[in-house]
Amino acid sequence: MDTEVEIDPYELIGVKTEATEQEIKTAYRQRSLKVHPDRNPNNPDAARKFHELNQAYELLLDPLRRLALDAKLRIKLARVERFKSFDTKRKNMVDELEERERAFKKSKVDKEKEEISRWQTTEKIKEEGRKMREEREKQLKEREMHAAPRAAEKLHDDLEAPVLDPLDTTVRLKYSLKDHPELTTAGAIAQLLARFGATDADSIVLSLKSSKKAADKPPKTGTALVPFKQIGDAYAAVCASKQVEKGLRGVEVGWVGGKEPQILGCLKKMGKLEPPTSSGASSSSTTEEKATTSNSVRPQLPQTDTGSTFSSFPSTFRIPNSKADDCPTSRFRL
């Protein structure tokens, strides 16, 4: 049985390890009369105890299995005695290692639970967004049935909103490690882009590559995917690509996938978004103009105040007084 050492057969039958075969048989008969199910009809554990007693009896009457059991018991006893001889320092070290292992396992479990909770929250938000869209479509269809053709067409245009993508606040950096040897960690990347706005340093994906012909040599180029908290900050970083005055000499900054987010194109089309102006204002500029220029690192896009972490778009975005051929008057909630 699997618990031969955990449940000591000698202790179960009531004999010592040096007991003879006849002593074992006698002790077994006496003990079996006490735990037999027929004599203990009201004890639900009687059958289990009687079964364990029989297993222990069979094991002790088998010379080979008894030798193996004795060896295990001796090893266990020696281990117990050896542990007792440990000094206080060694005991503390063992306890500390065990505590670290427990803490690591707990941290791993907590992280998995957090990831599951985050995934469930995301799925819940997606489902709520889908229901809201379906409800809006239903309302628009009902209004179209009672409105003039022109009004119905306008409502249809309102429904066609820019497609939201979860990577709209993420930019891609590409640079030479010869020019920027310090950019080898996610923290260094986050510090480089801190002037444009807050980034999610824990989610930065960094890749350092060598040339294919010299794969065994140190890496020469680096690429990184950096998620910003606000789309306006990401837009400012892309507009400042390779600009020395912005601290991006030789650092190419672009959108992930090579395509600008649809919401920015819509704002540009409406004339509501202009690229950030250069920080190198002329010496004849007034104090107010210089202040405006220094603050132009970040374009004026709608910001969020919901406290959510690194969302792709502001939680509420509204474009007033749009025309039918412009970005539609819509309201997005994430």
Over residues 306-325, the pLDDT tens digits come to 344 444 444 444 333 333 33
Asked if residue 331 has pLDDT above 60, the reply is: no
Mean of the pLDDT values across residues 109-138? 92
Residues 57 and 104 in one domain: no
Residues 102 and 189 in one domain: no
Answer whether residue 288 is part of any domain. Answer: no
pLDDT above 90 coverage of the chain, percent: 22
Most confident of 2-11, 25-34, 277-286: 25-34
Residues 134 and 270 in one domain: no
Residues 184 and 308 in one domain: yes
What pLDDT score does 322 carry? 36
What pLDDT score does 157 carry? 54
Instruction: Specify the amino acid at residue 71.
Output: A
What pLDDT score does 1 carry? 41
Residues 236 and 308 in one domain: yes
Mean of the pLDDT values across residues 287-297? 40
Per-residue confidence band for 326, with pLDDT thresholds at 50, 70 and 90: very low
Asked if residue 117 has pLDDT above 60, the reply is: yes
Q: Please, are residues 315 and 301 in contact by the beta-carbon 8 Å criterion?
A: no
Could you tell me the residue range of the domain that residue 69 belongs to? 9-84
What pLDDT score does 71 carry? 92
Q: Please, are residues 13 and 28 in contact by the beta-carbon 8 Å criterion?
A: yes
What pLDDT score does 275 carry? 57
Residues 218 and 176 in one domain: yes
Q: Residue 89 CB: number of other CB atoms within 10 A?
A: 8
Taken as a whole, the chain contains a residue count of: 334
d(CA 60, CA 62): 5
Angle, vertex CA 261, rays to CA 257 and CA 265, nearest 5: 130
Report helix angle 63-84 to 46-61, nearest 10.
100
Mean of the pLDDT values across residues 121-135? 91
Residues 126 and 245 in one domain: no
The residue ranges of DSSP E strands in the chain, in sequence order, are: 170-176, 205-209, 221-227, 252-255, 317-318, 331-332
Mean of the pLDDT values across residues 127-152? 82
Q: What is the CATH number of the domain that holds 16?
A: 1.10.287.110
Domain stops at, among 115, 133, 159: 159
d(CA 39, CA 91): 48
Answer whether residue 144 is part of any domain. Answer: yes
Nearest to 271 by CA among 248, 296, 300, 237: 300
Q: Identify the residue with better confidence: 58 or 210.
A: 58
pLDDT above 70 coverage of the chain, percent: 70
Lowest-confidence segment of 32-41, 78-87, 323-332 by average pLDDT: 323-332
* Phi, then psi, of 318 in degrees rounded to 5: -140, 135
pLDDT digits 0-9 by tens, 200-229? 888 888 888 776 666 567 888 888 999 988
What pLDDT score does 149 carry? 62
Asked if residue 34 has pLDDT above 60, the reply is: yes
What element of type H or E holds 81? helix 63-84
Residues 67 and 108 in one domain: no
What pLDDT score does 319 carry? 37
Asked if residue 230 has pLDDT above 70, the reply is: yes
Residues 16 and 151 in one domain: no
Per-residue confidence band for 276, with pLDDT thresholds at 50, 70 and 90: low
Instruction: Specify the amino acid at residue 245.
Output: E
Per-residue confidence band for 305, with pLDDT thresholds at 50, 70 and 90: very low
Number of domains within the chain? 3
Answer whether residue 101 is part of any domain. Answer: yes
Answer whether residue 325 is part of any domain. Answer: no
Residues 35 and 78 in one domain: yes
Residues 119 and 248 in one domain: no
Residues 123 and 98 in one domain: yes
